[in-house]
Amino acid sequence: MIGKSKAFLNVLALIARIAKCDVPVLIEGETGTGKELAARAIHYGSGRREFPFVPLNCGAIPEALIENELFGHQRGAYTGAAQDQAGLIQFAQHGTLFLDEIDALSSKAQVTLLRFLQDNQYRPLGGPSSRAADVRILAASNGDLAKLVAQGAFRSDLFYRLKILHLELPPLRARNGDVALLAANFIEMCNARLGQGEKKLSANTLNWFERYAWPGNVRELENLIYREYLLTEGAILDIAAPAELGSERRTQPDRRYGDYLGSKFGDAKTRVIAEFERNYLSNMLARADGNVTKAANLCGKERRTFGKLLKKHGIEKPDFRQ
């Protein structure tokens, strides 16, 4: 977990405190904010660090299989159950079970999990008796579980069982200064693992990185870096900004030409060219210490032509002599 922003450092401090409290934790945050990383940090900072950390994506398990996945089964429990199979609760014994996308659990699965949390007892499918488990439960959700409870889409009793401790992960757009650190870390990982030579981000890319909202958060940034690293042949990753940032920039007048925006195009162009010529000629004459011949040679002009340009813009030679 990498960052230096105040929002991120506050999260790290809270993780350290939560790790010492052996109770369930609800971790909330937008997609890609690093909820599983936070769960692992809690586990490995706790007294259970020597035992397994077992993750389960609840959204990937069909309702009919959730009990079997959690509690396992005994041989003959159902057609096709040819042998005993341990569930994730047993694999996580004395360790941590991380339930990601907890809001995806069906009503029946919520009841099953609630029953386990109440007494830490479970029974494998087809088993004759209950077994005790010593497992810490960490749950995560991309959405606001409190709103789902209010809508009747999530059991309030399970919600309060899970939310004994609560961790809210900030989105990347709220982590001021962390984008550049994370991007540099992902590039270092690419350099080390993908074998395409040392690469780095262009200044323009870093500029829009800091202004972009990153709806996919850290995961979006990581995927973008890996993709561009693999597809870019050169040593500089000059990544095009998203369309919304491009249009934003086009609506912003260029400050360099702000004084000319009230003029017609032809008049503004003449003024800009005249200003360029004056600055260019003055700089060349200064570099040549007022020597017209030398200045003309520096800019690739004949001495006579260069002299006419000086006269046109009212530039005096003595002004540049040392």
| Model pLDDT for residues 62-96, shown as the tens digit of each residue | 877 888 888 887 676 666 776 777 889 999 999 99
Beta-sheet strand order (sheet of 53-57): 53-57, 96-100, 136-141, 25-28, 165-168
pLDDT in tens, 143-178: 889 999 999 999 999 999 999 999 999 999 999 999
Locate 191 and state its tokens: 């350099």
Are 115 and 56 a contacting pair, CB within 8 Å? no
Mean of per-residue pLDDT scores for the chain:
86
Locate 92 and state its tokens: 């996580």
CATH T-level fold of 6-170: Rossmann fold (3.40.50)
CA distance 254 to 262: 13
259-320 belongs to which CATH class?
mainly alpha
178-250 belongs to which CATH class?
mainly alpha
pLDDT over 70, % of the chain: 90
Top pLDDT among 1 and 76 is at 1
241: DSSP letter: P
The residue type at 215 = P
pLDDT in tens, 248-306: 444 444 444 555 555 677 777 787 787 778 877 887 777 777 888 887 888 888 888 88
Burial (CB count within 10 angstroms: exposed 0-12, middle 13-18, buried 19+), residue 173? middle
Enumerate residues 6+ apart whose C-beta is below 8 A from 11: 38, 167, 169, 170
CA distance 85 to 125: 10
Are 11 and 38 a contacting pair, CB within 8 Å? yes
CA distance 287 to 298: 9
pLDDT in the model for residue 249: 42
Q: Are strands 25-28 and 165-168 parallel, antiparallel or unpaired?
A: parallel
Residue 121 pLDDT more than 50? yes
How many CB atoms are closer than 10 A to CB 114?
15
Domain boundaries, the chain: 6-170, 178-250, 259-320
